[in-house]
Chains A and B, each alone.
Chain A
Amino acid sequence: MFSQPTTLEEALDVRARCGPDLLPIAGGTDIVVAMNRGQLRPAGFLDLTHVRGLDAVRHENGRYECGGAATHATLSRLPVEALAEAALSVGGPAIRNRGTIGGNLVTASPAGDGCVALLALDADVELAHASRGRRVVPLREYFLGYRKTALLADELITRVRFPKDWITAWYKIGKRGSVNISVVCCAIGRSPTGLFHIALGSVAATPIRAPHAEEIVNRDGLTDGAIAEAADAVRRDISPIDDHRASAKYRAAMSVTLVARLLRRIRDRVKEPAR
C-alpha cells in the first residue's frame, strides 16, 4: 500500500490509523539501504515528501523552526554553523538533497550527524499524533537507546526547533572527504548566557551530550585549564566500542581532542576574556 498525503492532517491521520503497517518514508536514504540489505521489507509506505510545508524552515523569536522533512541540503544553507556544517558533511549532494532531518532523528544512528549538531543546539523535537495532539520533547531526552527513540509508532516528527544565534562549532573525523560516516563527531553550542552544550557522535549507543565536560566549562569558563579539564572529563561521558571503523581507544582520544579543539575555536569567536 502506498499513501501520499499532501496535508499534515491527512498524514497524521493515516499514521494514526495504520501505525507501523505503513512505514513513513521521506528521503528513503536509510530505508532503501535497509531494504537492499534485506533488513526491511515494509508492507507499504506513507510518503511524506508531498506534505505541504513539512520541508520548510521558518524563523521566529530568535529560533528556527524546521519541518520534519527539511532536507540536509536546506539545513546546510542556514547560518547556524554547527548544523550547516554537519548537514554539509552528510553523504554526497544527492543524499543531501533527499535525506531529511526527520529521517536522521528517527534512524537515530549513533553516527547521525544531524542528531549531534541539534543536541549541541539543545533543540526540541515536536512529535505529533492525529488525536492526542503534539508533544514537544527536548532532544536530550529523545534518544532512549541504540536506535530507540521517544517517537511512538503512530506519531510523526513534525518540527524541530533550535536557537538561531548561538555560537557553535562542528568537527567530524571520518576516513574520507565525502560520503563519510563519522568515526567521531563533535558539536558544541554556546548559548548567549554562556552555557555550553557539548554533543558527540559515534562514541556511545546513541548520539550523546557530555554533561561532565559541560559542567566544567559552565563553571570555570574557557580558560586553558578548564578546556583541558573538560576535554578530559568527556571520557566519563562516552562509552565507545571497538569495531571495524575504529578502536574504542581512538574514539576516546578523539573525543578529548575534538572537545578541546572546538572549545578553543568557540573561545576565539567569543573573544570573551578568560574568567
Chain B
Amino acid sequence: MTQNIQTIDVPIAEPFAEPLVPPSQTPYVERPHGPVGRSEDRIDGPEKVLGTALYGADLFYGRADCFVSVVRSEPAHAEIVAVDPSAALKMPGVLGVYTHRDVRGTNRQGLIVRDHPVLAESRVLFRGDAIAVVVATSERTAEDARRAVRVDYRPLPVVADMDAALAPDAPRLHPDGNIMGGKRIRKGDADAALAAADVIVSESFCTQTVDHAFLDLEAGIAHYDGRTLTIHVSGQWVHEERRLIALALGLPLESVRIICPATGGAFGGREDISIQIYLGIAAIQHPGKTVALRYSREESMRARHKRHAMRIYYTVGATRDGLLTAAKITVFSDEGAYRSTGPAVCRKAASHATGPYRIPNVSVDVYGVFTNNNPTGAMRGFGACQMAIAYEGMMDRLAARLGIDRLEVRRRNLIRSGDAVTTGQRIPIATAVECLDAAVRRLRQCPPPRPTDPHKSRTRPPALPPHLRRGVGYSVICFGLGYGDGFPDASRARVGVSDQGRIQVFTGGVEYGQGLITMAAQVAAEELGVSVRETDVVWADTEQTFESGSSSATRQTYFTGNAIRLAASELKEQLLDIASKLLGVHPHELELRDGCVVGRFDPARSVPLAEVVAQGRARGYSLEATALFKPRTVCEDFDTGQSPRAFITYLFGSHIAEVLVDIETGEVRVDRYIACHDVGRAINPQSVAGQMAGGATQGIGMALMEEVVNRDGRIANPNFTDYILPTFRDIPPVECVILENDDPGGPFGARGIGEPPLIAATPAVLSAIADAIGVHTHTTPCTPQRVWELLHPDEAAVPPDARFSLAPPHARLER
C-alpha cells in the first residue's frame, strides 16, 4: 500500500495565499501523469469571480414576465377551514391564486416517502407549510396579494418538541403516530457485556437544529409552452426533481426539463424540492409566460428543512485497559413535520453510531420523532455528524475515567485495515490511525502558521492571564460514502468529442461550488490525454445529461468520476481504433497524449486528435460513449443492522483543535486548527483542501454558535442577525493534511471528501473545550453562555437534566 501525504494550509482569516502543493514523493504504479492530482484552476472560476456566471437570482431579475409568491401557514399546527383569495384576486396586477385544487398531479413531495402535500390540503404541520401560490405582474404586488389571501384555521395543539410528541396524549401528526420509525443494530450481547465490563460510562448528548445557510438564496424562473415545463432553479439532483415535479403536477416525465443555474452552496439544503414546484404550478397556469420566484432569507429559513436535532443516550463498557467491550445507544431525532430524507438520516446515524471504533457488542436504537417543527432532512454530515459528537465525547470521558491518555484510548480501539465497523462490514483499507498520527505529527512538528491578522496578533497575550485556559481536542471519524444500505446508487456519464477535437463531458451532477465539474474535466482529460483547457463540461440539465444521482453523500467524485472514466475510456478505444487505421499501428501500441494519438514505442508516428475525429466522423464512428457506474451495496438486516457491504467504501479523518476559553465569560476562541483526511487520491488537492477548510468552518460553527431556535413551532431567529454563522475572525487558518491511500474502486484511487471534514470538526472543538475547562460538554452549540453554565451548573437557565427528560431504559447505569 502506498501512502502519499500532502499538506495545504488554507488561510481562512486572510486572502488566499499561493497554494502550497508539494509534488508527490511516492511513486505509484497507476500514478496519473495528466491533470489528475494537480490543483487545476476551477473551470467555473473566472466567470464566478468576474460576476458573469448567472445564478438563480440573476435569472429572476433578468427574464421574468410575472412573479410568484407563496402563502404559508402561520400556525405550526392547524386544520385549514377555508382559503379565501377573493380580496387578493381583486387587487390590480394579480393574475391568479392557486391552491391544491389547481394541482393536477398527486400534489405530493418527499424524497423517500411522498408524505408532504405540495400545497396543503386540510391540515398544516409546520409554520411555513405552503398553502397557496399567488401570481402577479410585479414582485411587490405578489407579496401584497399573498398577505391578502385569507386563510381560516382551526388551531390544533402544537407539538413543539420530542417530549411533547412522545407524551401519551400527544396529538397524532401522522396516521401511524408520532414515531416515524427508526433503525436498530444488534451485534453480540450489549447487555451482558455491559454487566461484565470493568467500567461503564454513560452520557446524554443534545445536538441542535442547524440551517444550511447557503448564501445563494432560492431563486429562479420557469416557463411552460403548453408541452414542456422548463425550470431554471438550483437543486442537487435535477433528475429526481424532474420525477417529483412530474408526479406532483401531473405531467409526463418527458414534459419536464430542469436546468440548474450557477449555484452558491447547497449542503443538503437543496435536496428537497423548493421553489421549483411552486414555479411549476404557476407556469402551468400561465403558459407562455416566464414566471419568477425568489425567497428572502427569512422565507428560506422558514420554508426549508433543517439538520436533525438529536438526543443521544450513550453507554459504553470497557476493560480496565480501556478496550471497549460494549456500547448501548438510543437516539431520538427530531424529524419535524414530514419525513424528507429523515429515514435515511436515521439509518446513517445508526450505522455510524460507534464511528471508527471496534466494539464487539453493540445495541443501537434510533427513532425519528415527528413534531411541528420544520421538516428535517439532508445536511452535510447526514446523521453521522451528530453521532461523532457522541462517540468522540465518550472516548474523552472514558479516557478521563480510566486516567489513560485520550489519544491512547483511541488508538487502542480504532479499527485497523481488515477490521469490521459496527454494521459488520470489513474495511480493507482503514486509515483512522494513520490520519490521527499524521494530524498529531503536524501538531508537534510544525509551528502554527504566523498570525497575520493584526487584531488577532494584538490580542494574543504573551502569557495567559488567569481567566484564560488553553485546551487541545482531537477527533477521529469514519464515514460510509454514497447512499449505502442497498439503496440504488448509480451515476451515468457521456463523453464525446467535438469536430474541433474538444472533449465534451455530460454529467447530471450539480456543481454548487464544490468543484464537481473541474473534477469531471480532470478525469476525462486524464483518461483521454488532453488538458483540462480542452475539455468542456455540460452539467445538470435533464435534457442534455443523463442521471448522475444527487450531489450529496460525498458520492460524486467516486460515482460520477468512475462513470466519466469508463465513458472516456470507451471513447478512447474508438479514437485509438481510428488512429490505428491512419497510422498503421496496432491500437494497443497507441496512446493519447497532449492532444495527439502517438505511437507508444514510436512517438514519431502521431496524428492530431482533430484529424482522428474528422476521419472517425467520415467512417461512421459515434465518437461518444456513455457509461453507467452502479456498484451494489447490501441492505442492512432489519433486526440486526448487519450487512457485509452497507457502504461502497469508507473514509477516515482526524482533526485537532486548539482553543482558548475565557472561564469567566465562557467565550471560546479557536486558535489553531488541523484537519487530516484520507481521500484515496486527491484529484484536485486545492479543491480537497477547500472542502476540508469549509467543512471545518461549518463544524466549528456547529460546535460554537449555529442554532435554529425553535419556540412553540416558531423559529425565533430566521435571519442572519441571530442565526450566528462563523466569520473570518472565528476560524484560524485550517492546516490541511491530505493522506492518499488509493481506493481500489475509486477513479484513479479517489474516494471523496465532501462531508467528513464537517463531521470531524465539531467533536474536536468540543474536546478542546473540555480539555481547557475540565468539564465535558454535552449540548451544542457551546455558546459563551453554555460554556459558562458548564462551569456554573446551578446557574443554568435550563437545568441540565430537564433537557433529557426522554430517559431511555438504560440510563444511569454508570459505575
The reply on A244 being an interface residue by CB < 8 A is yes
Which residues of chain A are near B725, meaning CB under 8 Å? 176
CA–CA, A183 and B728, complex, Å: 20
> CB-defined interface of A252-264 with B at 8 Å, one 1/0 digit per residue?
0110011001000
> CB-defined interface of A134-166 with B at 8 Å, one 1/0 digit per residue?
000000000000000000000000000000000
User: Would A177 and B730 count as touching, CB distance under 8 A?
Assistant: yes
User: Would A250 and B664 count as touching, CB distance under 8 A?
Assistant: no
Which residues of chain A are near B705, meaning CB under 8 Å? 175-176
In A17-64, which residues have CB < 8 Å from any B CB? 33, 36-37
A173/B667 contact (C-beta < 8 A), A183-B785, A244-B709, A250-B785 known: yes
The chain B residue sitting closest to A248, CB to CB, is B797
The chain B residue sitting closest to A184, CB to CB, is B665
The reply on B726 being an interface residue by CB < 8 A is yes
User: Would B664 and A247 count as touching, CB distance under 8 A?
Assistant: no
A244/B729 contact (C-beta < 8 A), A176-B705, A249-B795, A257-B664 known: no
In B702-727, which residues have CB < 8 Å from any A CB? 704-705, 709, 711, 716-717, 719, 721-722, 724-727
Q: Tell me, rounded to whole Å, the shortest Cβ–Cβ distance linking B796 to chain A.
A: 8
CA–CA, A183 and B724, complex, Å: 13
Q: Tell me, rounded to whole Å, the shortest Cβ–Cβ distance linking A167 to chain B.
A: 19
The reply on A245 being an interface residue by CB < 8 A is yes
User: Would A246 and B785 count as touching, CB distance under 8 A?
Assistant: yes
CA–CA, A101 and B296, complex, Å: 29
Which residues of chain A are near B467, meaning CB under 8 Å? 261
Q: Which among A173, A179, A261 is the interface contact of B784 at CB below 8 angstroms?
A: A173
> Please, how many residues of chain B have a CB less than 8 angstroms from a CB on the other chain?
32
The reply on A79 being an interface residue by CB < 8 A is no
CA–CA, A160 and B789, complex, Å: 39
Which residues of chain A are near B721, meaning CB under 8 Å? 33, 181
Q: Which among B665, B719, B726 is the interface contact of A173 at CB below 8 angstroms?
A: B665
User: Would B724 and A257 count as touching, CB distance under 8 A?
Assistant: no
Which residues of chain B are near A177, meaning CB under 8 Å? 669, 727-730
In B757-810, which residues have CB < 8 Å from any A CB? 783-785, 788-789, 792, 795-797
CA–CA, A242 and B724, complex, Å: 18
User: Would B730 and A254 count as touching, CB distance under 8 A?
Assistant: no
CA–CA, A48 and B536, complex, Å: 52
CA–CA, A244 and B723, complex, Å: 10
Which residues of chain A are near B726, meaning CB under 8 Å? 176
CA–CA, A173 and B787, complex, Å: 13
Which residues of chain B are near A254, meaning CB under 8 Å? 665, 788
A176/B729 contact (C-beta < 8 A), A183-B784, A245-B722, A250-B785 known: yes
The reply on A178 being an interface residue by CB < 8 A is yes
Which residues of chain A are near B729, meaning CB under 8 Å? 176-178
A242/B797 contact (C-beta < 8 A), A173-B667, A177-B729, A178-B727 known: yes
The chain B residue sitting closest to A92, CB to CB, is B727
Q: Tell me, rounded to whole Å, the shortest Cβ–Cβ distance linking A38 to chain B.
A: 9
Smallest CB-CB A-B distances: 6 pairs:
A177-B729, A247-B797, A178-B729, A178-B727, A244-B716, A250-B785
Which residues of chain B are near A173, meaning CB under 8 Å? 665, 667, 784
Which residues of chain A are near B795, meaning CB under 8 Å? 249-250, 253
User: Would B783 and A175 count as touching, CB distance under 8 A?
Assistant: yes
CA–CA, A185 and B370, complex, Å: 40
Listed A/B pairs (13) with beta-carbon separation below 8 Å? A173-B665, A173-B667, A175-B705, A175-B784, A176-B726, A176-B730, A177-B727, A177-B730, A183-B784, A183-B785, A244-B711, A249-B796, A253-B788
CA–CA, A176 and B711, complex, Å: 23
User: Would B792 and A253 count as touching, CB distance under 8 A?
Assistant: yes
CA–CA, A253 and B717, complex, Å: 24
The chain B residue sitting closest to A251, CB to CB, is B785
The chain B residue sitting closest to A260, CB to CB, is B664
CA–CA, A21 and B722, complex, Å: 31
Which residues of B are interface residues toward A (Cβ below 8 A)?
296, 298, 467, 664-665, 667, 669, 704-705, 709, 711, 716-717, 719, 721-722, 724-730, 783-785, 788-789, 792, 795-797
Q: Which among B298, B664, B727, B797 is the interface contact of A261 at CB below 8 angstroms?
A: B664
CA–CA, A175 and B783, complex, Å: 6
Which residues of chain A are near B789, meaning CB under 8 Å? 250
> CB-defined interface of A230-247 with B at 8 Å, one 1/0 digit per residue?
000000000000101111
Which residues of chain B are near A253, meaning CB under 8 Å? 788, 792, 795
The chain B residue sitting closest to A254, CB to CB, is B665
Q: Tell me, rounded to whole Å, the shortest Cβ–Cβ distance linking B144 to chain A.
A: 11
Which residues of chain B are near A36, meaning CB under 8 Å? 296
Q: Which among A176, A244, A248, A258 is the interface contact of B727 at CB below 8 angstroms?
A: A176
CA–CA, A258 and B729, complex, Å: 22
Which residues of chain B are near A248, meaning CB under 8 Å? 797
CA–CA, A121 and B788, complex, Å: 30
Which residues of chain B are near A257, meaning CB under 8 Å? 664-665
CA–CA, A179 and B724, complex, Å: 9
User: Would A176 and B724 count as touching, CB distance under 8 A?
Assistant: yes
Q: Tell me, rounded to whole Å, the shortest Cβ–Cβ distance linking B718 to chain A.
A: 10
CA–CA, A244 and B789, complex, Å: 16
> CB-defined interface of A192-212 with B at 8 Å, one 1/0 digit per residue?
000000000000000000000
CA–CA, A173 and B792, complex, Å: 17
CA–CA, A245 and B722, complex, Å: 7
CA–CA, A155 and B796, complex, Å: 45
Q: Tell me, rounded to whole Å, the shortest Cβ–Cβ distance linking B82 to chain A.
A: 25
User: Would B797 and A250 count as touching, CB distance under 8 A?
Assistant: yes
CA–CA, A33 and B467, complex, Å: 37
CA–CA, A274 and B115, complex, Å: 71
CA–CA, A213 and B467, complex, Å: 22
Which residues of chain B are near A261, meaning CB under 8 Å? 467, 664
The chain B residue sitting closest to A246, CB to CB, is B785
Q: Tell me, rounded to whole Å, the shortest Cβ–Cβ distance linking B157 to chain A.
A: 23
Which residues of chain B are near A33, meaning CB under 8 Å? 721
Which residues of chain A are near B717, meaning CB under 8 Å? 244
Q: Tell me, rounded to whole Å, the shortest Cβ–Cβ distance linking B72 to chain A.
A: 14
Q: Tell me, rounded to whole Å, the shortest Cβ–Cβ distance linking B652 to chain A.
A: 30
Instruction: Identify 18 new A-B residue pairs, CB closer than 8 A, beyond the known A92-B727, A244-B709, A246-B783.
Output: A36-B296, A173-B665, A175-B784, A176-B704, A176-B724, A177-B727, A177-B728, A178-B727, A178-B729, A183-B784, A242-B797, A249-B797, A250-B784, A250-B795, A250-B797, A254-B788, A257-B664, A257-B665
